[in-house]
Amino acid sequence: MLDPFSYLTTLKDCGVTFFSGVPDSLLKEICACITETTGPDNHVIAANEGAAVGLSIGHYVGTGNLPLVYLQNSGLGNLVNPLLSLASSEVYGVPMLLMIGWRGEPNHEDEPQHVHQGRVMLPMLEAMDVPTVVLSQDPIEAAQQTKAAAKQAHEIKGPVALVVRKGTFEKFKGGPQASSDLQMSREDAIKTAVSVLEESAVVICTTGMASRELFESRAYANDGHHRDFLTVGGMGHANQIALGLALARPDRSIYCFDGDGAALMHMGSMAIIGQSGCANLFHIILNNGVHGSVGGQPTIGLSIDIPALALACGYVSSETVRSPKALINSISNGRTKSGPTLIEVRVRPENRTGIGRPTTKPVDNKTALMKFIRRI
């Protein structure tokens, strides 16, 4: 296995002076090391992977130095356009390293949303003419691979990918995490919201821990899972699934349980919601200020005024709550409004130990929900 700090030193010795990306569980140790040891001028946790490519291009233009973009392989979809239409050697010719966590590696058990992506990842990179190497867990070989990849990126004036398997990095022994005095955990907020939803209401839940917590909450209450759509992949798109459903079924209340990182990833979607005039859509952003499902790397969620952004986009109601009582009151008040409602729930950055994963297949989840929608 690779020591994160030693490997980061290897990257810097290879001329890497800038880091940007979206954290990944397979990369969480190296991401934590970069976050703790690299200043804000040289490390930006981006809203999405394509934006990280843009940041890296800007750094290269300003310095001539090599940037590194880190991502989970599911983020390749966000990355393709700027990678091929800007960084490519056939366009602007910007050398960079891509560090990609290989979720869904063939013959390795993983969650269903990663299986297809993991199987086609290497052919995708090949089709994009991106030279690729699977990073060794041997420190000496990994250093040699990284040095060769950095050299190749300069030679071809384009991106070169370092693919990282599960278990490649050792645990990073960083400093203590900041404590929080917020009243609720994300799981507390989900349980509170679910307890006051209408019988006919539908929940569209964002990817990661939130969907896992919603699933367990329903199981604990013996409520069944037919009222929920668990958006187990497609980070940042849950609120548009919710909007599409709300427009299709104006007779039902549609609740989107979103995350701060997910909402920031495609923040333009808030403008589409705001201008929709959709009175049956409740957008609940569970804001803990971190990418909680992939290592706890910070977002800017707690540093910006999300309710003000929502109002500027056209939501008719928007507020921040911090307690169960305030959340219940806000949901109740939202039902009296004539357009989309946003509720930002500020929650502690923590996940309960031992939280399970959904035991139903995504397609079965979808089928059960569709039957429920048609039944009532």
Q: What is the pLDDT of residues 110-123, one digit of tens each?
A: 888 899 999 999 99
What's the pLDDT score for residue 264? 96
Neighbours of 39 (CB within 10 A): 6
For residue 315, give the nearest of 306, 324, 327 by alpha carbon.
306
Q: For the chain, how many residues are written?
A: 376
Residue 71 and residue 24 in contact, taking contact as beta carbons nearer than 8 Å: yes
Mean pLDDT of the 27-47 span: 96
Q: What is the pLDDT of residues 246-289, one digit of tens each?
A: 999 999 999 999 999 999 999 999 999 999 999 999 999 999 99
According to DSSP, the β-strands at 341-346 and 297-298 are unpaired
Residue 290, classed as helix, strand or coil, is strand
CATH of domain 4-164: 3.40.50.970
Question: Using only C-alpha atoms, what is the Rg of the chain?
Answer: 21
Give backbone dihedrals phi and psi of 359, rounded to 5 degrees, phi first: -100, 0
What's the pLDDT score for residue 177? 57
Q: What is the pLDDT of residues 214-251, one digit of tens each?
A: 999 999 888 999 999 999 889 999 999 999 999 999 99
Task: Report DSSP state, residue 158.
Answer: S
By CB atoms closer than 10 A (0-12, 13-18, 19+), residue 316 is: middle
> What is the sign, positive or negative, of the torsion defined by CA atoms of 365, 369, 375, 376?
positive
Predicted TM-score of the model (pTM):
0.92
Q: What is the pLDDT of residues 197-211, one digit of tens each?
A: 999 999 999 998 999
Mean pLDDT of the 351-367 span: 89
Mean pLDDT of the 131-158 span: 98
What's the pLDDT score for residue 111? 85
* Within this chain, domains 4-164 and 186-375 share the same CATH topology: yes
Q: What are the tokens at 206?
A: 């964002």
Please give the Cα distance from 21 to 206 (Å, whole number).
20
Higher pLDDT, 181 or 10: 10
For residue 203, give the nearest of 235, 184, 236, 231 by alpha carbon.
231
Largest separation between any pair of C-alpha atoms in the chain: 64
Q: Which residues contact 283 (CB under 8 A, 6 or more apart)?
A: 239, 242, 256, 258, 270, 273, 310, 315, 340, 341, 342, 343
What's the pLDDT score for residue 191? 96
Q: How far is CA 160 from CA 31, 74, 229, 331, in A?
A: 19, 17, 37, 48
What's the pLDDT score for residue 294? 84
Arithmetic mean of pLDDT over the chain: 95
CATH number for domain 186-375, candidates 3.30.420.40, 3.40.50.970, 3.40.50.300, 1.10.10.10: 3.40.50.970
Residue 175 has pLDDT above 70, yes or no: no
Q: What are the tokens at 340?
A: 């989309």
What's the pLDDT score for residue 376? 62
Domain boundaries, the chain: 4-164, 186-375
For the chain, report the end-to-end CA distance as a whole number of angstroms. 54
Residue 38 and residue 11 in contact, taking contact as beta carbons nearer than 8 Å: no
